[in-house]
A and B are shown apart, each in its own frame.
Chain A
């Protein structure tokens, strides 16, 4: 699975958009980009995932560059409850089901939303 690079931390003002970058320059054609977050001491929370098209759901938007070597998670209107560690993970969907869900979590980006 491709490795990812994220900034260790970033601050965001409440109500503003938070743009979280992720570099995955060694991504291969069948690998998806996943984003999770972890609020202090809680279990990880799934946010969004994509292959090559931009994706949007009720939580966030995922923008993947055309060459797929980097992506940005966008939280459109950050709130204090969005303070968390955000993980960008790249993993193969696999042709065999025994590769599903085998996520490799790195250190992530600590996002602090301030009033």
Chain B
């Protein structure tokens, strides 16, 4: 199993640009999550999904959108990027209440 994979690893955006962060898992997990981590801080939940077609907001959803058309994929969309969205983004998945699988992260800089 490849586990949770994220692309791209790094990205620099200009203010106002848009992009999609990709997340894929090959473990047939129903639950998927997006977190962001600002420098020196802990992770904060952006959005999560309990299955294909079902998504819900986490702690910090503003400025982001998600979709879950398949079990494997959970892309995170940034519209109108802002400097405040400079962060490291982690995707995770689980089959139960315990998240054991995190992706390697996408480091995003908005200038």
Binding site for B on A (CB under 8 A): 32, 34, 41-46, 49, 87, 93-94, 97-98, 100-108
Specify which chain B residues have a CB less than 8 angstroms from the CB of A98 in the assembled complex. 50, 56
Interface residues of A, dominant DSSP: loop
Q: In the bound complex, do residue A42 and residue B104 qualify as a contact, i.e. CB atoms below 8 Å apart? A: yes
How many Å from the CB of A17 to the closest CB on chain B? 24
How many Å from the CB of B72 to the closest CB on chain A? 17
Residues B83-111 near A (CB distance < 8 A) = 88, 90, 92, 94, 96-105
Knowing A100-B97, A103-B43 are in contact, say whether A44-B31 is a contact too (CB < 8 A). Answer: no
The yes or no answer to B13 lying at the interface (CB within 8 A) is no
Query: Other CB < 8 Å A-B pairs besides A43-B103, A49-B98, A107-B42, 4 of them?
Result: A94-B97, A98-B56, A104-B42, A105-B35
* A103, B42: Cα distance in complex, Å: 10
Residues B50-98 near A (CB distance < 8 A) = 50, 56, 58-59, 88, 90, 92, 94, 96-98
Q: In the bound complex, do residue B94 and residue A44 qualify as a contact, i.e. CB atoms below 8 Å apart? A: no
> What are the interface flags for B6-48 relative to A under an 8 Å C-beta threshold, 1 for contact and 0 otherwise?
0000000000000000000000000101010100111111001
How many Å from the CB of A46 to the closest CB on chain B? 4
Q: In the bound complex, do residue A46 and residue B99 qualify as a contact, i.e. CB atoms below 8 Å apart? A: yes
Q: In the bound complex, do residue B105 and residue A101 qualify as a contact, i.e. CB atoms below 8 Å apart? A: no
Specify which chain B residues have a CB less than 8 angstroms from the CB of A45 in the assembled complex. 102
Specify which chain A residues have a CB less than 8 angstroms from the CB of B105 in the assembled complex. 41-43
Specify which chain B residues have a CB less than 8 angstroms from the CB of A105 in the assembled complex. 35, 37, 42-44
Specify which chain B residues have a CB less than 8 angstroms from the CB of A102 in the assembled complex. 33, 45, 48, 58
